[in-house]
Structure 1
Amino acid sequence: MTSLSTQVHVDSVGHPVYSQSFPCEPSTAEIGRRILRDVLGIWHLDDLDSLADRAALIVTELVANAARHTSCQEIRLMVRRPSATRLRVGVLDRAPARLPTLGQADDDESGRGLVLIDAVADRWGYDLHGSGRRPWGKEVWAEIRITGGA
């Protein structure tokens, strides 16, 4: 039994995706982690603890970064399988001018989000959405290689 509010249909071909909008606030990370685990279960990837743990950390940090560095009211969590061997987790916001940069972590707990993502993901980046001259938003994403499982 899943707690997803919309049914996810997974075909044997193509690239499945789950996407849902949430308030842009730190507490959304907990909801995002729960949904991520539900989606991994639907895709029969929930027995891969390392994958689930790494992806949950990515969700947490992407949501925290959006909540901290944008003034957006809403964000969209996206969980995709761009191929049979890759999982992509992304957060879309409407602040295309606030691009992510990998920097040095401060002595306190700020500035560590992308450093953590860089450490656990196989790759990460961002995509602007909208026209090249006037984007309306950006998706910050990270990908993890799927080893074992379905």
Structure 2
Amino acid sequence: MPVSSVVRTTGHPGYSQTMPCTVESADPARQLVRPALCTWGLEDDGALVVTELVANAVQHTQGHLIRVSVSRPAPGLVRIQVVDRSKIRPERRNADDYSERGRGLFLIEVLTDHWGTDLLPFGKRVWAVLAEERVV
């Protein structure tokens, strides 16, 4: 399946890529986020955040594709998002010490300033925002 990438040439800077809704897409998602942050002169936990967003989409949607985006909507802010075909909003769980799953949204909550979900006509967008002062 071909992968499509888009670089925004107008508006605030951003990069997005459509990828298969599979666990293997976590690596290309990280490869999308890391260079964008480097281009903007930032380093952060964005690679881990996008990995968790992709894993959540893969686990909870029946769709075949996801859309991963990273943007800089304003100076000092980075927004990472994953769009999938499911309309079910993610919910943070409290995993016990022995659970193998259920920590992804907790990690996103800890690593970002805020996160959320936007329902779309065909699915949802799960996003997380990092502020530059936290980007170290």
TM-score range, shorter chain: 0.7 to 0.9
Query: 2: CA distance between counterparts of 1:79 and 1:31?
Result: 13
Larger radius of gyration: 1
1:118 & 1:18 partners in 2: Cα distance? 23
CA RMSD, aligned part only? 2.1
Aligned residues: 131
Residue type matched to 2:26 in 1?
A
The unaligned stretches of length 5 or more in structure 1 are 130-134
User: Partner of 2:122 in structure 1?
Assistant: 136
1:31 alignment partner AA: P
Provide TM-score, normalisation by structure 1. Answer: 0.79
SS in 2 for 1:75: strand
1:41 equivalent to 2:32? Answer no
How far apart in 1 are the matches of 2:106 and 2:89? 15
Report if aligned partners of 1:90, 1:141 keep a CA contact under 8 Å in 2: yes
State the partner residue of 1:22. Answer: 19
Q: Which runs of 5+ in 2 are unaligned?
A: none
SS at 1:77 equivalent: strand
Which deviations, in whole Å up to 9, do the C-alpha atoms of 1:59-113 show, x marking residues without a partner? 11000001111111000001011111100000000111x2111121142220010
The percent of aligned pairs where both chains have the same amino acid is: 44
Whether 1:80 and 2:66 are equivalent positions in the alignment is: no
8 Å Cα contact 1:62/1:140 also seen in 2? yes
Structure 1 residues 37 and 67, CA gap change in structure 2 (3 angstroms): same
